[in-house]
Amino acid sequence: MGRFSTCCFTTPVSKTSSKQKQKHPQRSGEAMESQPTNNANDDSAVRIEDHNTVNSSTGSATNIIINSDFSMGLHSWHPNSCHSFIVSAESNYPEGTSTNSVGNHAVVTNRRECWQGLEQDITSRVSTGSTYFVSASVGVSGPLQGSADVLATLKLEHKDSETSYFFIGKTSASKERWEKLEGTFTLSAVPNRAVFYLEGPAPGVDLLIRSVVITCSSPKECENKRADCVTAVDEGIILNPNFEDGLSNWSGRGGCKIVLHDSMADGKIVPQSGKVFASATERTQGWNGIQQEITGRVQRKLAYDVTAVVRIFGNNVTTATVQATLWVQTPNQRDQYIGVSNVQATDKDWVQLQGKFLLNGSPAKVVIYIEGPPPGTDILVNSLVVKRAEKIPPSSPPVIENPAYGINIITNSELSDSTNGWFPLGNCTLGVGTGSPHILPPMARDSLGPHEPLSGRHILVTKRTQTWMGPAQMISDKLKLFLTYQVSAWVRIGSGATGPQNVNIALSVDNRWVNGGQVEINNDRWHEIGGSFRIEKQPSKVMLYIQGPAPGIDLMVAGVQIFPVDREARFKHLTRQIDKIRKRDIILKFSGAGSSSMLGGFVKVKQTQNSFPFGSCINRSQIDNEDFVNFFAKHFNWAVFGNELKWYWTESSQGNLNYKDADDMLELCTKHNIETRGHCIFWEVEDTVQSWIRSLNKNDLMTAVQNRLTGLLSRYKGKFRHYDVNNEMLHGSFYQDRLGKDTRANMFKTANQLDSSATLFVNDYHVEDGCDTRSCPEKYIEHILDLQEQGAPVGGIGIQGHIDNPVGQIVCSALDKLGILGLPIWFTELDVSSVNEHVRGDDLEVMLREAFAHPAIEGIMLWGFWELFMSRDNAHLVNAEGDINEAGKKYLALKQEWLSRAHGHIDEQGEFRFRGFHGAYTLEIASFSKKVVKTFVVDKGDSPLVVTIDV
């Protein structure tokens, strides 16, 4: 998609009124010129050859309407206080309308006022002084006699004047045919917001829209004007960005002072660029800093880049985090804080801070400020620039020649040539021993299949004086970029250990540590170690090494394997597994008075929704963005709140409760029939616990914990299907350390007493990837059993799933182990990360297929999907401004793959049989005498499901 400009908006955004207009004001020639054209009898529809380009009498021109032919559903379109949906041509909705229809069309229904219709924001794609031609193919349906008017209208919002509405054109439409609506408009003044929409028929009459085209009469002129606007806006978002005009437009946040300097520290600190810089001094809070209001100079749903040059000074602090933050005040006076980016700054040099942000709602006030270091430390700012984010072209799929799947890249893995190819890392000694296992470790065996026995020889590492000492091998020239490699080995430790020992297979990639897998050893047996890695940027040097036991402890390593993983081969196996556990045989049995006439009739079965839970994390600000809400409601059926139910959010200071955000989000989910998980009641990691809780004595903390349980679960009783009771207990112990070992089980017991309808989960990370010994499946099982022995009603196992370069066999091994507990397992926070969208999509496919194919998995929650609103970079499926990337397309393709379709004829027994996924279906039966449409639901079950269809 081409780059769209913001078109010189330098005035504050107006507050959008919830009260809708009742009639249009008279056309104002000063603001816009409009020339309507009525072609009521023209049956020819606008034929769209491309989503963005049409051929017109003025030559080739760009269509500024996004998704003009509804081929992407309702993407970028929004119903105005009514409802809308997309209908394909072959579905023949409504009866008798446009029998020659081609492609999709939108149906706007539940209209209670004539002005209700379908709209699209075109603010960033129009400019002043240019003439735009409008052509739309429209129709009507519903309770009307004769015809009804359909109008094209432009709504213009201004800061200092009332919203105005301008008539573009109209046509008279009837139920028998599509009509063309045409008109033109010209903007002579710049609004804060321009919205195009179609409206007009009487209440109760559905409005049908097949295509909309808006083109500029002089495309090159329009592009030039928009390009000029971009430059003006980019330069005007931050006023006086380099302090060339002193401290004009800048102020100190929270009462701190800002001072202009040409140098500091006896001339040791000078500007990196320009002649001056500013400092925020006399800071008494971490959030004190330098700020500028940018209200009206940034627009909602547009992405902006932020670049600042910063450093710190004073208070004997040599390094500190410096952060750019947005303070946003909503029209209803609610405060939002958006972290843009942060950087580790020093007192030695200037550093660049870079980030990106997007506003979901229409703000009343926006302030950007720099904050972060401890009180008493000055923040120095040389420049701060905000500009529209450039559209980044999608990444190309990586081309990997001869991937050599399953081929071990390790030299002399079997030690047939002594230790040739290996070298000691550090002053340890390498030798060769015998007696190691002759079979591959299980996870590698699952990947490689039948394999020659191992030699039984192993590397013996002695005289180790440092933890990192062990066998190493250079593999720089053997790796291919973007290939996922599985790591496997047998490891064992010698005698003398005083406690459990951590053994790690690691890689040094240009001196950057990469984790290839870890295992904890507390006996003298051989242990499997497995993991994975991928390199996405060409390295100059890559070294493999094995490390871990305490100094003085001998290390034994056998059968080291590093090989590329064939994901496609694994997918074939998973497809067979999915068919077994996610589908069911269905027999449609036709009965009733008309059943005999239906024998031999044609049956068409289409699944409308898979009942398997696919959910996502959402946050409060996102639900102000209708594009986000539309995508979320269409493609997910479960939700979890990222922060808004956590204790530090609902009670950041003692006694001041905030449930408004969670209430709003819950209301949205209820409206769209989306189930919700409660995340989380407590969080065991101390850094996540608010300071007022950390300051409580034992008795007061016990009271606070009880109040938290009572307040949260009583308020939302029956509304959250799950709760993560105490998050990440394998990685933290704040409450257990202060309140005793039984406090965790008591949290579960009390939660169950307060809301017995909710399933109570444990929830932790790195369970499935082999890279964290604290949360390996064995430790997780031990933890859950310990809770159950104390009477905790643990009802589900949460695996967060923040994973890199996943290997299906490793993930499946963890699920198999946890499955022995017989509890439902959910991926609760799944995300994958890669700069390359295609690779990211491949990683996501691995995780979704593995989860969907495993009988113990009962739901998958993504930890977000929209850029700038996820905890990890390069993990999004939808870009900030709503474009679906390659990873998002992979997700949608899998959702489609897991919907069943079938067709055929009713047999002589009056039955139709097929095998389909669990979920909701529609059924169409057509015979010579009639056509019948029915719906039915397929539940889980091992035996064939007989569905009686009364015809």
Q: How much of the chain is in helix, strand and coil states, percent to nearest 5? A: 20, 35, 45
The torsion of the CA quartet 303, 307, 311, 312, rounded to 10 degrees, works out to: -30
User: Which residues, at least 6 apart from 164, have a Cβ–Cβ distance to it below 8 Å?
Assistant: 25, 28, 31, 155, 156, 158
Q: Catalytic residue among 179, 528, 768, 829, which?
A: 829
Strand pairing category for 378-388 and 277-281:
antiparallel
User: Which residues, at least 6 apart from 751, have a Cβ–Cβ distance to it below 8 Å?
Assistant: 681, 709, 713, 723, 725, 758, 760
Tell me how far apart the alpha carbons of residues 370 and 384 are, in angstroms, rounded to a whole number. 9
Helices (H), 674-776: 691-694, 698-715, 734-739, 743-754
Tell me how far apart the alpha carbons of residues 393 and 390 are, in angstroms, rounded to a whole number. 9
Q: Are 561 and 410 in contact (CB under 8 A)?
A: yes
Q: Are 48 and 68 in contact (CB under 8 A)?
A: yes
What tokens appear for 416 in the block? Answer: 């047939």
Tell me how far apart the alpha carbons of residues 597 and 491 are, in angstroms, rounded to a whole number. 71
The string over 227-243, giving b where at least 16 C-beta atoms fall within 10 Å of a residue's C-beta and e elsewhere, is eebbebbbebbbeebbb
Q: How distant, in Å, are the alpha carbons of 294, 724, 840, 850, 942 from that of 799?
A: 41, 11, 20, 13, 27
845 belongs to the catalytic site: no
Q: Catalytic residue among 528, 675, 728, 845, which?
A: 728
Strand segments (E) across 314-372: 319-329, 335-346, 351-358, 365-371
Tell me phi and psi for residue 907, to 5 degrees. -80, -175
CB-based burial of residue 580 (10 Å sphere; 0-12 exposed, 13-18 middle, 19+ buried)?
exposed
Q: Are 222 and 181 in contact (CB under 8 A)?
A: no
**3-state SS track over 780-815:** HHHHHHHHHHCCCCCCEEEECCECCCCCHHHHHHHH
**3-state SS track over 83-108:** EEEEECHHHCCCCCCCCCCCCCEEEE
DSSP state of 831: B
What tokens appear for 741 in the block? Answer: 């070992």
Residue type, 604: K
Tell me how far apart the alpha carbons of residues 267 and 428 are, in angstroms, rounded to a whole number. 51
User: Which residues, at least 6 apart from 3, have a Cβ–Cβ distance to it below 8 Å?
Assistant: 230, 390, 391
DSSP state of 540: S
Q: How distant, in Å, are the alpha carbons of 178, 215, 599 from that of 57?
A: 22, 11, 55
Residue type, 740: G
Q: Is the peptide bond before 203 cis (omega within 30 degrees of 0)?
A: no
The string over 841-868, giving b where at least 16 C-beta atoms fall within 10 Å of a residue's C-beta and e elsewhere, is bbbbbbbbbbbbbbebbbbbbbbbbbbb
**SS3 call for 779:** helix
Residue type, 374: P
What tokens appear for 79 in the block? Answer: 């119903």
Q: Are 379 and 321 in contact (CB under 8 A)?
A: no
Tell me how far apart the alpha carbons of residues 610 and 919 are, in angstroms, rounded to a whole number. 4
Q: Are 356 and 880 in contact (CB under 8 A)?
A: yes
Closest CA to 185 of 160, 158, 165: 165
728 belongs to the catalytic site: yes
Catalytic residues: 728, 829
